[in-house]
Amino acid sequence: MESKQSLDIFGEFLVKNLRDKGIENTETLLNHKSKAPSNLKLQTEISQFNESQKELIKEIVIKSIDVAIHDFLFSLQELADFQNNIQISVNGENIVELSDGIHGESYSENGWNAKFSKYGSKE
């Protein structure tokens, strides 16, 4: 049980600090709520889109973030299978070795996205 807990600790961290933060930033820009001067021009351009177009942009961003996380985790899996020169440990356990395919842990009704993301799973 400790092993699954370590894997979920990593998954929750990844989902909340990478996936959800990226989606939150997208929502902030789409809703014209960023106060950063560097975002004003972008938000002005976005304000010309209708709600359907904005929803499509959000969907594209979520898909892109999910693919990037998948590919990052797949690369970690490949390293663990061969070179093992980059490792991520939680509670002293190599999280890649705790999974039979860490790149798939985000998906399914019991995956990290469903369990830990406030945006749920899009798969």
- pLDDT, tens digit, 9 for 90 and up, residues 42-58: 999 999 999 999 999 99
Does residue 123 have a pLDDT over 60? no
3-class SS of residue 50: coil
Q: What are phi and psi of 101, to 5 degrees?
A: 175, 85
**pLDDT band at residue 3 under the 50/70/90 scheme:** low
- Say how far apart CA 111 and CA 123 lie, in whole Å: 10
Residues 62, 31, 60, CA angle at the centre, nearest 5°? 20
H helix intervals, 17-107: 20-30, 40-46, 51-81
Torsion of CA 31, 32, 35, 36, to 10 degrees: 100
Closest CA to 12 of 91, 123, 115, 120: 115
Tally the domains of the chain.
Answer: 1
Q: Which domain holds residue 84?
A: 2-116
Residue 83 domain flag: yes
Do 62 and 55 touch, CB atoms closer than 8 A? no
Residue 42 domain flag: yes
Residue 121 domain flag: no
- Whole-prediction pTM: 0.89
